[in-house]
């Protein structure tokens, strides 16, 4: 199938979703335009007002009648409606084209969620933010009820800079094997700018905390406990699967810590739909930091 035909096929399968999205957007008002009044038809109040202006020394060059007012209003309304629809549809078009639409029940989408999504996404023109809203819609399609109102509010308040910074943070995070973000290894003291070389300075982290995406404590940690084999923690990072296992020479009878930055519940929701970017320098530094903290970092195929 050619790229053109494939795109047309996806567009056809998305049609029910597009129809529902447009139904939640304001449509231009279509009213009967009143006939523009002639000089003889001018309301007496207008005539009196013009005479008063003329008597005060001001010259009235023209009379803007009701028909012109309606015309200007309708043109502005049409333009705004087109802007909202264009933004919403551009955002929806960023949904994964490989999504199996035969398994998606568009009619099952919660009406309140879709209404809010349409209103918020229709006012976003930046591609970075549109991608975020597209992933939120995709996440709700795949798992109805998974996107909370709190998460929608936080996404609404994000600008392009915050979205890009949050994308860096999510790309650096460790996730469990279900895709839930766990922690971003701090590589020392994030409050002392230990993550600055990777675009996550203390100032950036504070802004993310202000937007309620991460916990406002730069010295957070998770304690991993274990049984007879000691602490074992399966994680994913940058599309790779690992098992973190306490080094044999390390006394981890009471558990072993992983220090770093924790996500808020809303941050966890958003992180699950954010697309990651490669961060090889950070990944190498993270693995070295984990080893220093007493962890063996084992690619999943080599884990025993």
**pLDDT by residue, tens only, the chain of 304 residues:** 454 454 455 566 778 888 888 888 876 544 444 444 444 555 566 566 556 656 666 555 444 555 445 566 567 677 888 888 889 989 988 888 777 777 777 888 888 989 999 999 999 999 989 999 998 998 888 888 888 888 889 999 999 999 999 999 999 999 998 889 999 999 999 999 999 999 999 999 999 999 999 998 888 889 888 766 778 899 999 999 999 998 877 666 677 889 999 999 999 989 988 889 999 999 999 999 999 988 999 998 644 4
Q: Are 236 and 187 in contact (CB under 8 A)?
A: no
Dihedral pair phi/psi, residue 150, rounded to 5°: -60, -45
**Angle, vertex CA 81, rays to CA 76 and CA 87, nearest 5:** 125
Look at residues 130, 78, 142, 131 and name the one whose alpha carbon lies nearest to residue 105: 142
Residue 211: what pLDDT?
A: 92
Cα 114 from Cα 20, distance rounded (Å): 8
pLDDT at 25: 86
As a whole number of angstroms, the distance between CA 172 and CA 166 comes to 10
Q: Please work out, in degrees rounded to the nearest 5, the angle formed at the alpha carbon of residue 30 by the alpha carbons of 29 and 34.
A: 115
pLDDT score at 57? 60
pTM of the full structure: 0.74
Backbone angles phi, psi at 291, to 5 degrees: -65, -40
Task: Write the DSSP assignment of 16-77 as a string of letters.
Answer: HHHHHHHHTS------PPPPPP-GGGS-HHHHHHHHHHHHTT--------HHHHHHHHHHHH
Res 37: pLDDT: 47
Q: Closest Cα partner for 138 from 237, 267, 17, 236? A: 17
Cα(162)–Cα(211) distance, integer angstroms: 9
Distances (CA, A) of 53 to 47, 69, 293: 10, 21, 83
pLDDT for 260 equals: 94
Mention every residue, 6+ apart, whose C-beta is less than 8 A from residue 153. Answer: none
CA atoms within 13 A on the CB side of 290: 26
d(CA 116, CA 129): 16
Instruction: Please give the structure tokens belonging to residue 55.
Output: 């008597």
| Exposure string for 40-76, b = 16+ CB within 10 A, e = fewer | eeeeeeeeeeeeeeeeeeeeeeeeebeeeebeeeeee
């Amino acid at each position: 199938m050619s790229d053109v035909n494939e795109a047309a096929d996806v567009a056809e399968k998305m049609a029910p979703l597009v129809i529902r999205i447009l139904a939640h957007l304001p449509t231009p008002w279509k009213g009967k335009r009143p006939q523009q009044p002639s000089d003889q038809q001018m309301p007496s109040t207008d005539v009196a007002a013009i005479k008063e202006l003329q008597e005060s020394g001001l010259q009235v060059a023209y009379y803007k009648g009701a028909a012109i007012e309606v015309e200007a209003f309708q043109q502005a309304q049409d333009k705004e409606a087109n802007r909202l629809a264009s933004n919403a549809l551009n955002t929806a078009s960023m949904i994964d084209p490989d999504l199996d639409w035969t398994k998606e029940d568009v009619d099952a989408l919660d009406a309140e969620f879709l209404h809010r999504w349409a209103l918020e996404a229709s006012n976003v023109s930046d591609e970075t933010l549109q991608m975020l809203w597209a992933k939120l819609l995709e996440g709700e399609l795949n798992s109805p009820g998974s996107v909370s109102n709190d998460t929608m509010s936080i996404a609404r308040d994000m600008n392009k800079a915050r979205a890009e910074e949050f994308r860096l943070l999510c790309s650096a995070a460790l996730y469990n094997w279900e895709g839930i973000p766990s922690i971003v290894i701090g590589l020392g003291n994030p409050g002392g700018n230990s993550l600055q070389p990777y675009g996550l300075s203390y100032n950036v982290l504070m802004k993310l905390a202000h937007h309620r995406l991460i916990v406002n404590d730069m010295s957070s940690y998770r304690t991993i406990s274990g049984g007879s084999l000691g602490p074992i923690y399966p994680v994913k990072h940058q599309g790779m699967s690992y098992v973190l296992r306490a080094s044999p020479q390390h006394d981890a009878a009471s558990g072993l810590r992983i220090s770093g930055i924790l996500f808020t519940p809303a941050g966890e929701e958003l992180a699950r739909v954010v697309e990651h970017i490669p961060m090889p320098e950070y990944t190498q530094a993270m693995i070295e930091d984990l080893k220093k903290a007493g962890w063996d970092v084992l690619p999943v195929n080599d884990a025993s």
